[in-house]
Amino acid sequence: MRKVVIAFLILQLFVFSCDAPLFFQIKYSFKEINYNVSTHNENLIEEYTWAVIRYDNPFQPSINFGLIKWPKPSIGTILVVANMLSEKLCEIAAQIYNENKYETLKALVEFDIKNMKHSKPAMIPKYDEWSSPGLKNANRKVAAHEMFCLGEKCISPYANIIGDCYSLASFNTALLRLCGFKAEEVFTLLIPPHAVNAVRIDKKWYIIDPTLASNVRLGKLNTILFENYNFSKIYGYKCIFLGLENDRYMVHFGFYDYIEPSSNMNQSLLKEIIESLLPVINNPPLGTENWLLEDFIKIAKPHPEMLNISMPYSIKDFTDNNPEKLAKMNLDFIYNITNESIPNQYSKALYAYNLIDVKYPEVYANAAKYAAWTSWLGVKLDGDTAYKDAIRTIRWIGFVIKSGKILNENQIAFSDFTYLMREGSTIDKAIVAYGMLRNMRKENNMFWDAKDLYVIITENNRGYLAVNISGTWYYLDFYEKEIDNEIHDVKMAFNEEKVLYEWP
């Protein structure tokens, strides 16, 4: 029984897909005006959909459309890179940075204690922070910009940054990397079903457990920084060392048949890091196979989608401590490092960051189709005619979500996140509406077809949803909260199957 429970928890945290992806290239979609229809590939769209929605709970599917494929190479390596694009995170890096790395570490710990909150009950979450009907068992990993937005709405005090343990640890890994710590010096450490940070300064390892920040504020603990970390004593679960990761490295010791042993780290470096780190975390077994380190080194292979290159820039590279410049340099680096022949953690990070100007906008429509909220609402609001479906969708969104851009320019909120925040741009609303209608039945008990729905973005960045009813296109206007008969100045139209730069 214990193995079943552990397997369930691990599946919620770290599951990889075995399907081999096809090649792609990230570009600015708005600049690609030399063709009218993008080339759609179902495997690619589903793969990048995972980078957008970042669920890791196999028991929270869309009501109508089931589960999508698992993320690759991992949620964490994607999130760390995505977080390093955040201007706000770069701004914090500039505030806590010190030439003395230990002083930087202490400043990070103080920042975490003051600002962080674990979003779900520790270890075995039963419901999300907001008790959302469509997300009762979801364990979504949020990026830094979303964690800040959630902090603005949280009902609890001291909650400027909200996420589960994996999100909080990924946040810290990205922040220390932005402060100049090398990829060999800071990791997200995976101890199922938990995640913490491992940080090395002058050959000495420290562990940060940001999940415990609230406990320090409540006076139950003195600190979240440990020189000796006993996971089992704190949480009451057997400690298994599953792996470590950051923007450059992914080392996983494997979990039964779900996760195969993998490492893209130099063998001598891996040996030195693991042997020096194990005593600090009470010498747990290496994966469920309890590997001898030498045996693991012999069998582990690098994940084919992990590009073994570090993010190159940190705040110390800018004498003026310019956070905006640092974020822009990181974004430019990612656009330039994406590979034409194979996907990697950098290309997926663009989708995890929710940039609309990436190669496949179809991903966002596909994510809305699979989202727990939109699928739940689609079933609840389904009408007996296509026109009633459209009316109920625009009325519900107009009633529930107020207009307002909550993310940076060229970003969209993930469809479930928009509902949690009760706020979003008209583009966000159009994407949410797409997911809701795709989960409704249009006629003859058949679902709305993708070819009858398009998210429309106009030249002034207004979002609409085009719906085809009996051969006539109607446009859900989320600015005026009405249905229009025509639309002008279309910049882009997309659904889960194609993107158009001319409409109709």
- For the chain, domain boundaries: 17-69+361-504, 73-329
Report the alpha-carbon distance of residue 254 to residue 462 in Å, rounded.
46
**Tokens read off for 159:** 């909650």
DSSP H or E stretch at residue 175: helix 165-178
Q: Over pLDDT 70: what percentage of the chain?
A: 86
**Tokens read off for 472:** 């006539």
Average pLDDT over every residue of 284-290 = 94
- pLDDT(399) > 60: yes
Say what the pLDDT of residue 1 is.
Answer: 43
Report the alpha-carbon distance of residue 240 to residue 459 in Å, rounded.
53
User: Confidence class of residue 130 from pLDDT cuts 50, 70 and 90?
Assistant: low
Cα angle value 147/150/155 (rounded, 5°): 135
* pLDDT tens column, 87-112: 999 999 999 999 999 999 999 999 99
Beta bridge partner(s), residue 263: 251
3-state DSSP of 94-133: HHHCCCCHHHHHHHHHHHHHHHEEECCCCCCCCCCCCCCH
Neighbours of 49 (CB within 10 A): 25
Tokens 């999300």 belong to residue: 128
Report the alpha-carbon distance of residue 307 to residue 290 in Å, rounded.
27
Average pLDDT over every residue of 147-159 = 80
Beta strands 453-458 and 463-469, pairing class: antiparallel
Report the candidate in 154, 206, 180, 166 with the shortest Cα–Cα distance to residue 54: 166
Residue of higher predicted confidence among 450 and 12: 450
* 24: CB partners within 8 A, 6+ apart: 41, 44, 340, 343, 347, 359, 360
DSSP 503: -
Residue 183's Cβ-side half-sphere holds a number of Cα atoms within 13 Å equal to 21
Most confident of 194-198, 342-346, 369-373: 194-198
User: Confidence class of residue 291 from pLDDT cuts 50, 70 and 90?
Assistant: very high
Say what the pLDDT of residue 28 is.
Answer: 26
* 90: CB partners within 8 A, 6+ apart: 84, 178, 315, 323, 324, 326, 327, 330
How far, rounded to the nearest angstrom, does the alpha carbon of residue 210 sit from its chain's CA centroid? Answer: 18
Helix (H, G, I), strand (E, B) or coil at 154: coil
Report the candidate in 421, 414, 411 with the shortest Cα–Cα distance to residue 374: 414
- Mean pLDDT over all residues of the chain? 86
Average pLDDT over every residue of 150-179 = 89
Report the alpha-carbon distance of residue 48 to residue 50 in Å, rounded.
5
Report the alpha-carbon distance of residue 49 to residue 360 in Å, rounded.
10
79-83, 157-161, 325-329, 455-459: segment of lowest average pLDDT: 157-161
3-state DSSP of 26-84: CCCHHHCCCCCECCCCHHHHHHHHHHHHCCCCCCCCECCCECCCCCCCCHHHHHHHHHC
- pLDDT(2) > 90: no
**Residue type (1 letter), 495:** N
- pLDDT(189) > 50: yes
Residue of higher predicted confidence among 409 and 469: 469
Average pLDDT over every residue of 111-123 = 80
Beta bridge partner(s), residue 2: none
* CATH 3.10.620 holds for 17-69+361-504: yes
Average pLDDT over every residue of 411-415 = 89
Residue 18's Cβ-side half-sphere holds a number of Cα atoms within 13 Å equal to 4
* pLDDT tens column, 209-219: 999 999 999 99
4-13, 247-256, 336-345, 486-495: segment of lowest average pLDDT: 4-13
Report the candidate in 71, 134, 165 with the shortest Cα–Cα distance to residue 418: 134
User: Confidence class of residue 42 from pLDDT cuts 50, 70 and 90?
Assistant: confident
Q: Over pLDDT 90: what percentage of the chain?
A: 64
* pLDDT tens column, 51-91: 898 877 666 778 899 888 777 788 899 999 999 999 999 99
Report the alpha-carbon distance of residue 84 to residue 310 in Å, rounded.
12
User: Confidence class of residue 39 from pLDDT cuts 50, 70 and 90?
Assistant: low
List Cα–Cα distances, 158 to 179, 200, 326, in angstroms.
24, 28, 28
Residue of higher predicted confidence among 135 and 72: 72
Report the alpha-carbon distance of residue 181 to residue 262 in Å, rounded.
24
Q: What is the CA radius of gyration of the chain?
A: 23
Say what the pLDDT of residue 121 is.
Answer: 52
Helix (H, G, I), strand (E, B) or coil at 442: strand
Residue of higher predicted confidence among 421 and 493: 493
Residue 466's Cβ-side half-sphere holds a number of Cα atoms within 13 Å equal to 23
* pLDDT tens column, 332-345: 999 988 865 678 89
The pTM assigned to this predicted structure is 0.89
**Residue type (1 letter), 471:** G
**Tokens read off for 493:** 């139209």
Report the alpha-carbon distance of residue 423 to residue 403 in Å, rounded.
6
